[in-house]
Amino acid sequence: MSDLEFEYAALLKQRHRISTCFEWVCRIATGSALLFLAVLLAGVIGQAWGWLDLQFLTGFDSRRPANAGLLAGLWGTFWLILFTTIFTVPVGVGAAIYLEEYASDNRLTRLIKLNLSNLAGVPSIVYGMLGVTVFVRMFGMIPAADGWTAAISLGFGTLEIPLPLGRCLLAGSFTLSLLILPVVIIASQEALRAVPSSIRHASYALGATEWQTIRHQVLPAAVPGISTGIILALSRAMGETAPLIMIGALTYLAFAPGNLNSPLEAVQDPQRVLDAPFDMFTSMPIQIFNWVGQPKAEFQNVAAAGSLVLLILLVVFNATAVVIRNRAQKRITW
């Protein structure tokens, strides 16, 4: 086999060359992904330069680019995320607790878990279709032409709930909640799973019930992981557009939900707070979508300004999540 040895030796240089070459290909691939990000951000910032000012943030949309503002979208996104949080957190965390702590490994549990991973992959627009039928039209059980209104009088105002819900903000929130629910559940499950069983066993050994163990030991330990998951899911919901369009969010809207333009007005006229969830609405991504589609060239700059605001908000959200996760990892060392 002597000639083989010579062969091997001759090929060695080429092999090392190939290895170095491959390493560079991989480096370049990673670098180009980072480059895309940099170019995208540079482009948005460049186009938004000079168009992102206080007037933009406090004004409503307009047919003229110079006057167009994001306020309706800001309020819409605020309300949407608020209600989505209210609905998603209890249901999502509750489901995760059930699946991780209570459920035995039977067919039903496995079905639920399989179902969750499938739901996480369903395109958002399908959720929009679900939302339209279930929340907006409520299965068509109450014809839209008639429509009732349930009025509940609270001390400071009247809560008027239209039935069917129609194309209102609350319907949008419900839909977004269903959309991010699988994500929240899966993330919370992982956070709960990370808590070592020794903690649970110690708690049981001291005579605590299942719920007491969860409430006092497991859940507090899992809170950082769960919050991180919720924040990331909400940041995804902030950027969602398609399901809201199907629900009936308006692309051009010149008022905020409930006519509530500033927190001060909430205090002065609380009725507007009660009106807001049932009002027509828009959101930041939808306003951006509208501006991108406008023929006038300057609307591109307005769209860029809106995108920049949205990106900044998302960065804040994600940074919060990362900070929470890092602080938690420092404190808790299993």
Partner 1 sequence: MNSLPTVLTTNAIDQNEVIRVDVSRNDSAAVKEPSVGAVAAMARPSVASASSINEEHAVKIRAKNVDFLYGNNQVLFDVSLDIPEKSVTALIGPSGCGKSTFLRMFNRMNDIIEGAHHTGEVLLEGTDIYAPQIDVVLLRKRVGMVFQKSTPFPKSIFDNIAYGPKVAGLRNRARLAEVVEESLKRAALWDEVKDRLNSSAMALSGGQQQRLCIARTLATNPDVILMDEPASALDPASTAHVEDLIFELKKNYTIVIVTHNMQQAARVSQQTAFFFEGVLVETGETHGLFTNPTQKQTEDYITGRFG
Partner 2 sequence: MSTADTSGRPLSEATISLHRTASFVRLKEWGIRSVLFGCAAVSILTTFGIVSVLFSNAIYDLSPQRLGTDGQAKPNEAFFQQVSVTEFVTETRWTPQFSEKHFGILPLICGTLLISGIAAFIGLPIGLCSAIYLSEYAAPRTRAVIKPVLEVLAGIPTVVYGYFALVFVTPYVLKPLFHDLLGMDVGVFNAASAGIVVGIMIIPMISSLSEDVLRAVPRSLREAAYALGSTRFDVSTRVVVPAALSGIIASFLLAIARAIGETMAVTIAAGQTATVTADPFRSVATMTSYIVNVSLGDTEIGSIEEKSIYAVGLTLFLMTLCMNVVSQFVLRRFREVYQ
**Could you say which of 57, 82, 126, 324 contacts partner 2 (CB under 8 A)?**
126
Q: Does 139 contact partner 2 by CB under 8 A?
A: yes
Residue 94, contacted partner among partner 1, partner 2, none, CB below 5-8 A by kind: partner 2
Question: What's the full length of the chain, in residues?
Answer: 334
Q: Nearest approach, Cβ of 200 to partner 2 (angstroms)?
A: 15
Structure-block tokens of residue 234: 């909400």
Nearer to partner 2, 273 or 291 (CB): 291
Q: Nearest approach, Cβ of 206 to partner 2 (angstroms)?
A: 15
Q: Nearest approach, Cβ of 103 to partner 2 (angstroms)?
A: 7
- How far is Cα 61 from Cα 57, in angstroms, rounded to an integer? 10
Window 282-301: residues binding partner 2 (CB under 8 A): 285, 288-289, 292-293, 300
Nearer to partner 1, 5 or 105 (CB): 5
- How far is Cα 149 from Cα 146, in angstroms, rounded to an integer? 10
Q: Let me know: does 258 contact 183? Beta carbons within 8 Å.
A: no
In a 3-state reduction of DSSP, which class is residue 313? helix
Q: Does 221 contact partner 2 by CB under 8 A?
A: no
In a 3-state reduction of DSSP, which class is residue 12? helix
Nearer to partner 1, 15 or 27 (CB): 15
DSSP 8-state class, residue 101: I
**Could you say which of 1, 2, 6, 19 contacts partner 2 (CB under 8 A)?**
19
DSSP 8-state class, residue 207: T
Q: Does 320 contact partner 2 by CB under 8 A?
A: no
Q: Does 236 contact partner 2 by CB under 8 A?
A: yes
Nearer to partner 1, 4 or 267 (CB): 4
Pattern 164-203, partner 2, x by CB under 8 A? --------------x--xx--x------------------
Query: For the residues of 223-290, what is the DSSP string, one character each?
Result: HHHHHHHHHHHHHHHHT--HHHHHHT--SS--S-GGG--SHHHHHH-HHHHHHGGGS----HHHHHHH
**Could you say which of 9, 10, 34, 54 contacts partner 2 (CB under 8 A)?**
34
Nearer to partner 2, 60 or 189 (CB): 189
Alpha helices in the chain (DSSP H): 2-48, 54-58, 71-97, 107-120, 124-131, 169-193, 197-205, 210-213, 219-238, 242-247, 263-268, 270-275, 284-292, 298-331
**Could you say which of 98, 194, 206, 296 contacts partner 2 (CB under 8 A)?**
98
Nearer to partner 1, 4 or 141 (CB): 4
Structure-block tokens of residue 33: 């992904």
Site size for partner 2, by CB under 8 A?
89
Nearer to partner 2, 273 or 310 (CB): 310
